[in-house]
Chains A and B, each alone.
Chain A
Amino acid sequence: MIWDSLKYGWNVNYWLTISGIDCVFSEASVTGTPPDGFASMLKSLVIDHSAEVGQSVDRDTGMGQGLPLTFSLLSAPALAAIMQTPTMTTVLTQNCVAGTPYTGTGTLHVQDTSAFPSSGTLYVGLETFTYTGKTSITFTGCSNALHGSLASSHFYGTAGGTVTNRPRVWRGREVRLYAAPVSPDGTTTGSALADESQEVWRGFIDQGPYRDGSDRFTVEALSMDRVLANPLPCGATGVVQKYSSRQPVHQDQYLQVVIEAYNSSNAAISGYPLQVIITPFDNIPDGTLMEIADIIATIQARWDAALVDLGAPAIKLMFNTHVGDYTYNTGYFLYPSNAAIDHSVFTVVVNGKLKVDHHAMWWGPSGLGFDVNPKPIIPTWNGGANPLGGGATSNEYGQWDPSGDTGESMTLVVELDSPADAIPPYGLLTVGDETISGKATVVGNLAYFYDLRYLSPKQNIAWTPKDNAIGKTVEYTFSETSDYAYDLMCRSLESSGAGTRGDYDYWGYGDGYAIDQSAIDVASFVSGLASAIVGLNLRVGGSGLSFQDMFSGLLALVQRGVVARPDSSGRVRLGIVSTDVNGSWYKTKITDEHLLSFNSEPVVSVRKRDPVTQIKVSFTTDAKGKDSPTVYTVQETSGVLESGGQTLDLALALNGPQPSADWTIQGWCATILAQSHAVQTIEVRVVPWLDVNVGDMCRLETTHPTLWNWATASEGFTGQARCIGTRRDLMGGALTLTLVVQGGPVVSGLSPAARINWYDSSSAPTLVDIDHKFLSYMQQSISENAGAAVRLMHYQVGMGNEAYGGYLIVSAANSVTVSGVDWCRLTIASSSIAGASLSTSLNSTLTLPAGAVATGWQNMFAHAGDGTFWG
C-alpha cells in the first residue's frame, strides 16, 4: 500500500487519465512508461487545491455518495492541441455498432472525409478512433475504444453520429486518479508508471474543462457512484393511433380438416378420409402481427384454393367476429360418394399458436348424417388438440375446451415521437395512467405493442383499456423480473445494448448505465446479496427510473450499499458493501497511535442519530407509484408515542404482492428499528497509511475522552466499528474516517465453522485442510493471540453427540499455509480426538471452542451466554 511509504518521509505524486484522451496528466515529471493505452505524459496536473476526495455510503438509501474531484491542467502546447474545438467535422452514414471489432481493420462510413488528413485520430461521442487510410466517404484501417474509452454504439442521423478531429464531448468522460510513491529525493519507483501506483478515485467529468485564470483549465468530476442517481431514458414515447386485436402468425401453422366416413358395418368408405391441410402463412415473415380479420381472410383464401384443388367446393369455412356474435353463412358439402355413408367424423386441427377467433363450420344438406344447425368450433390457443375427440356416431362433432384460449390480445399501434433505435422486446407500458406489460415490435415510426397484460397479480389477464385509448400518450421502457437482486443490479449497471460491457450486458440500449464490467466488483454483488436477499421476486424497470429508484429501498433494508471504492484489485470499482453496524471479524484495528492530532482534533464529531421508530415499505411494480402500492408499516409503538415517528420510507420493486416475503421484510425492518436506538456515528482523523475503505469492519480501541462507551459507561471506546465513509486530504494524505458503532447491546458475529476436507490421520492428525476462505481468519487468529497456538473444536455434523468430538491445537506462525488453490492447510501441534475420529464422509467440522477456553480473539465471536445479543 503506497501510503505506508509516508511513514518514512516519502511523498505522493498524483496522476490521472481522462478516457479517450491520449495523455497521462501528472503533477510531477516522472520516469516510467505510461500505462497501457496511453502514449504520452504531461506534467500539468494541479490537484492540491482540490477538496478531500473519498467515498461514503448513505445507510438509509444504500447508495454511495462519493466526493467530487476538482483538478486543473496547466497550459502547455501539448494541451492546447486538445483544448480546441473541432476543426474537421463530418457525420456517420451508417450505424457504428459497439460489438463490431475495429482492430486496425475497421471502416467508418461517413458523409465526407475531404477535410481530414490521410490518417489520424477521430472522436465520436466519448469514443476515440484512429484510422490509417480513407476514401471520400470512409475512414479505413480503424481501431476503436482507445485511450481508455469504451466501445459504444453510434447512430447515424443523430447528434451522436458526429465525427470530429478533436474531442467534441467532455462531459461523461471517465477520470481515474492515481497516486504513486515518490522518494524523498524525488525518485519514482517502477519501470512503468502504473507499477507502484494505486487508484485513488474514479468518476466522470461533470463540468469543464473551462479556462480558469491565466494559466490553466479546470475540470470538475463526480464520483462513479453518483451516476446511479441519473434516471435511465425511456425506451420509447408516442401516442396511440389505434388499438385492435392482432396476433403473430407463423409459417409452420397449419389447418387440417379430415372427414372420415364409414358404412353401416363401420368400415371406412372408399375415398375417405378426405383430408385438406393448408399452411396459410407460409409466405409471410414469421412473427408478423396481423389483425384477426386479415388472419381469417388469409385462411379463407388458402382454404378456397385448396378446395379448388380437390375438384369441388367441398366445405365452406366461415369465420365470425368476436364473442357473442355468431353469424352463419351457408355453404355446402359434397361427398364424392354419399349413398353408402352411415356416419362420419369431422375433424379440424389447428396447430401451433394460431389464434383464430371463432370459426363456424357449417355443412349440409340434411339427410347425409350432418346436423343442419352448425355449432361454433372454438380452437384452443395452444392448438394441437383434436377438437372433436373422436366418436363415430351420427351427427357427432364436438366442441373442445377453450379454457386454454386466453382470448383476444389487445394490440396498440403507437406513433413514436422519435425514431426508436432499439426498444426492448418486452417491457412496461404506461398508457395514460395505466401501467401494463407487453411486447413490442417496431415498423418504421410505428410501434406495435401486443400481448398486453395487467401486472401481477393479474398478469394472466389480458388488458383492455378502461376507456378510449386512442390519443393517449404512451411511455414504454424495459422491464425485467428476477429472483436474484444481484443479477438485476449488475444488468442495470452494465447494459449497453451491445453486449460488450461484460457478462451482465443483457438489456437494450438505454436500459442500463453501460459501465464496463472491469469497473464493477461483480463478486461482491453475488456474495453480498445472494444470501441476504432470498425469496423475493423483483420487477425493475419503468420510465425515468434510476438505479437508485429501483434498488435503494432493498439495499437499505438488507443493510448493504453500492459504493465506488478501492478494493483488493487495486482499482476503484463499484461494489456491494455492508452497512450493518454489526459484523464478525475486523480488517483493521484503530488505536490511539493512529489518531492524528496535528492541526485539529482527532475525533471530529460524534453524532447519535434520532432513532428510527417507523419504517414504511411500499411495494410497487413501478417505483413511480403508478400502481396501487401495498404499504407495510413496521413501527415501534412505544417509540412513536414517546419520541414521535421518525419514519424511514423505503420502496421495494417487488413483482406483485408476495405473502411469503412478509416475514423476511418485517424481520429486516425489526432489525433496523432495534439497532437504530444505539447507533453512533464517529468521525476520526487517522494516519494516511491506515488501510480502511468504506464497508470495512474495524476495531476501534481508543481512550480519547470525546468518545463515550455506552455499553461499559466509560470514556473512550473499544469495540467494532463499520466504516461508512473515507475522506483523504490530497496534500498530506491524512484520512478522515466516518465510523458507525453500536453504542448499546453488543452483537457479535457468528462463530465460524470449517468443514474438514482432508487430513493425514483421523485419530492423531498433524495436517488438516479446510476451505481457503478461512486462511485470513486463521492467520489473524494466531496473530491476535500473540503468535501462540489456537484451539479449534471438532465435531461431526449430524452424526449425534456433537459436543464430544475433541479438539485440535493449531500451532503458531507459519502453520497456516495455502494448499493447492482451494485449501488452507493447518499444521496441528497437538490434538485430542474424542468420541469420533476425523472423517470427511461423516462431516467432520472445526469450530471455536467453548467460551471458557477460547482466546480473546475467539471470544469476540458468538458464544452462548457471552453477554452479547442476537441482532
Chain B
Amino acid sequence: MAITTPTKLVVSKADEFNFTQMAAGPLQVSLANSNHLYGHFCPNLLSFSPMGGLLAASTTYVVPVVPSVDGLSYDFIYTVLAGATDPLTIQVYKNTGANPASGWTSIYGPTATASMTVGHWFVHRHSTVIAANVTMLKFVVVARAGYDMLSHVAVQPTATAVAPPLLKASGFLPFDDSLISSPRAPINTEMVNRAKSNALNVLRDRKQCIASFVQPYVAAPFTTGGYAVSTPSGYTTTPWSLMGKATGFLPGKQYGNITVYCLSSVTGGATADQVVMDLTCQPLSSTGIDSTGLLKTDLSGNVVPSLTLVVWGTGVSNPEVPIEIRVRATAGHTTYIHSLIAFWTPTGAV
C-alpha cells in the first residue's frame, strides 16, 4: 500500500497479457516501471567540454538551461585533468532572467574541492536543486592559473525515489499500489493510460542536451580571445562561418523537437539572425532534404527564448542528425558565442 520506486525496469513478456487471469500483474509492473522512470531517468541536462584551454585564475562559464518543472535535484559532475595539486574552488549561480549581466544568485559554494594529483583525472561532484524557473547557470572556477584543464561538465537529475509532494508540475502521477492490489479491485482504463502518460510526461519534462558549445564568458566589451567570427569591412553580403559540428543520435526514438538556446555578443552591427543551427536531417522527410531547417537565433547578449527548430527523424528508429553551427558578423564587426546548447524533447506519439 505504498508508492514504490523500483531500481530497475521490469520488462513483461507479451504472453503475460494473453489469457492470463485478470489481476493486477502485468499492469502493475507497467505502472511500477513508470515510477522507476521518474526516479531513475537521468538524461544530461548539460554536457559540455568547455573551450579555452587551461583554466585561468578564475574562469567563468555561463550556460543556458531548461530544467525540469518539478524542481529536481541535479548532480553536477566536473572532470578535471590536474596540472597542479591545488584544489579548485567552484561556485555555481542561477539566474531566472534573460540578461547575464545581472540577477545571479549562488546555489552552490564557493566550495573547495579535494586536492588533486598531478597528471591524473580528478572528479568533483555535488547535488544541488535547480528550480523550475532557472534560465541560466554560471560556473565560476578558481584554479592555479595555467595548470588545470576542466575537461567536462555534466549536469543530470539525481536518481531518487518518488517522493512528496506528489502533485508534480510535469504531469507525472505517482503510482500507488493500494487500489490495484485490493481484493476484486477494478482494473480500469485510467490505470492503463497512466502508465503511458507518465512515461511521456517524464520524457518531455527532462530535456536532454544533444549538442553544446561553451567557452569562457567574457562580458562586453570583450577581448579578441576565444573563438569568434570577424568579418572585415567592405563585404556587402556577409558569409557564414562554420563554428562546429556535432551529430545527435537517439537510438529507438522517432520524433523530437530540438530547441536551441544561444548566449552571445557582438561588437556592433546586426544583433539578430547572426547564428544558424543547421540540421541536415536524416532520415529524409517525404519532401526530401530540408535544408530550410535553418534556425537563426537572435544575438543580443541575452539568452534567447526557446525556438523550436524542426521536427526531425520521423519514421525511422535510430536517426542521426548532423548539427552544424554557423556564425556571421556584420562587416567590420565580431560575433562571439559564449554558449550554445541544443536540447531534445520527444514529441508526438512515442
- A interface SS class: loop
CB distance from B129 to the nearest CB of A (A): 22
In the complex, A804 has a CB within 8 A of chain B:
yes
In the complex, A133 has a CB within 8 A of chain B:
no
CB distance from A861 to the nearest CB of B (A): 7
Chain A residue at minimum C-beta to C-beta distance from B350: A535
0/1 interface trace, chain B 22-60, chain A, CB 8 Å (1 if under): 111110000000000000000000000000000000000
In the complex, A748 has a CB within 8 A of chain B:
yes
6 CB < 8 A contacts A-B? A385-B241, A451-B288, A660-B317, A863-B185, A870-B20, A871-B18
0/1 interface trace, chain B 188-217, chain A, CB 8 Å (1 if under): 111110100000000000000000000000
Please measure, in the bound complex, the distance between the C-alpha atom of A390 and the C-alpha atom of B235, giving whole angstroms. Answer: 13
0/1 interface trace, chain A 262-281, chain B, CB 8 Å (1 if under): 00000010001101010000
B234 x A870 contact (CB < 8 A) = no
Chain B residue at minimum C-beta to C-beta distance from A451: B288
Among A656, A674, A800, point to the contact of B166 (Cβ < 8 A): A800
Instruction: Name the A residues within 8 Å of B350 (CB-CB).
Output: 535
Please measure, in the bound complex, the distance between the C-alpha atom of A123 and the C-alpha atom of B174, giving whole angstroms. Answer: 66
Instruction: Name the B residues within 8 Å of A755 (CB-CB).
Output: 190
B232 x A801 contact (CB < 8 A) = no
B166 x A803 contact (CB < 8 A) = no
Please measure, in the bound complex, the distance between the C-alpha atom of A287 and the C-alpha atom of B172, giving whole angstroms. Answer: 49
Chain B residue at minimum C-beta to C-beta distance from A673: B18
Please measure, in the bound complex, the distance between the C-alpha atom of A751 and the C-alpha atom of B3, giving whole angstroms. Answer: 22
In the complex, B17 has a CB within 8 A of chain A:
yes
In the complex, B283 has a CB within 8 A of chain A:
yes
Number of A-B contacts (CB under 8 A): 245
Chain B residue at minimum C-beta to C-beta distance from A353: B291
Among B178, B184, B318, point to the contact of A802 (Cβ < 8 A): B178
A753 x B190 contact (CB < 8 A) = yes
B1 x A803 contact (CB < 8 A) = yes
In the complex, A740 has a CB within 8 A of chain B:
no
Instruction: Name the B residues within 8 Å of A390 (CB-CB).
Output: 229-230, 241
CB distance from A414 to the nearest CB of B (A): 19
Q: Which of B224-275 contact A (CB under 8 A)?
A: 229-230, 232-237, 239-242, 245, 252, 254-255
In the complex, B326 has a CB within 8 A of chain A:
yes
A483 x B348 contact (CB < 8 A) = yes
CB distance from A710 to the nearest CB of B (A): 14
Instruction: Name the A residues within 8 Å of B179 (CB-CB).
Output: 795, 802-803
CB distance from A243 to the nearest CB of B (A): 18
Instruction: Name the A residues within 8 Å of B191 (CB-CB).
Output: 753
Supplied contacts A460-B284, A750-B192, A868-B22, 14 more A-B pairs, CB within 8 Å = A349-B237, A400-B242, A481-B314, A535-B254, A660-B254, A798-B176, A800-B2, A800-B176, A802-B179, A845-B190, A851-B186, A864-B185, A870-B25, A870-B26
In the complex, A866 has a CB within 8 A of chain B:
yes
Q: Which of A669-686 contact B (CB under 8 A)?
A: 670-671, 674
In the complex, B280 has a CB within 8 A of chain A:
yes
Stretch in A33-41, A186-194, A252-260, A604-612 touching the partner: A252-260
A260 x B232 contact (CB < 8 A) = yes
Instruction: Name the B residues within 8 Å of A284 (CB-CB).
Output: none
B166 x A798 contact (CB < 8 A) = yes
Please measure, in the bound complex, the distance between the C-alpha atom of A848 and the C-alpha atom of B278, giving whole angstroms. Answer: 53
A862 with B183, Cβ < 8 A, contacts A390-B241, A655-B316, A798-B173 known: no
B276 x A384 contact (CB < 8 A) = yes
Instruction: Name the B residues within 8 Å of A351 (CB-CB).
Output: 237
Instruction: Name the A residues within 8 Å of B252 (CB-CB).
Output: 659-660
A381 x B291 contact (CB < 8 A) = yes
4 A-B pairs closest in CB distance: A798-B173, A851-B184, A537-B315, A753-B190
In the complex, A404 has a CB within 8 A of chain B:
yes
CB distance from B222 to the nearest CB of A (A): 18
A480 x B286 contact (CB < 8 A) = yes
A537 with B18, Cβ < 8 A, contacts A401-B245, A752-B188 known: no
Instruction: Name the A residues within 8 Å of B294 (CB-CB).
Output: 384
CB distance from B203 to the nearest CB of A (A): 14
A865 with B3, Cβ < 8 A, contacts A401-B245, A660-B254 known: no
A799 with B188, Cβ < 8 A, contacts A385-B326, A483-B349 known: no
